[in-house]
Amino acid sequence: MPQIRVSPQEVARLGAALAGLADDLRWSADQARDDAWALGPGRSRSALVEVVGDFERQRLLLRRALAELGERAQVAGGGYATVETDLGQAMGGGGQW
């Protein structure tokens, strides 16, 4: 039977990486908004807002989901892996599943 080995540190690193990705998505959204000035006045700016509006909304939803998942992985995931390790050691195993 295959085994999967996960350490609490790996779960915490995954959570930090997801949080970092969420921060990158927030920066991208801010950068796109800041660059819209280049279109100048007129209809092109509002057309761009309309075209990228849904994309922007989806990106922000994804950012929120990644931030929440990252936080949960860091807090709960690391704790879960620690319990798994402790349980494995208490049962005479190697401590990793």
Q: Give the CATH number for residue 70.
A: 1.10.287
Q: Is the pLDDT of residue 29 over 80?
A: no
pLDDT in tens, 72-81: 888 877 677 6
Q: Is residue 95 part of a domain?
A: no
Q: Is residue 80 part of a domain?
A: yes
pLDDT at 87: 80
Q: Is 66 exposed, middle or buried (0-12, 13-18, 19+ CB in 10 A)?
A: buried
| Residue range of the domain that includes 23 | 8-90
> How many domains is the chain built from?
1
Q: Is residue 24 part of a domain?
A: yes
pLDDT in tens, 79-96: 776 777 788 788 876 544
pLDDT tier at 57 (50, 70, 90 boundaries)? confident
Q: What is the mean pLDDT of the chain?
A: 76
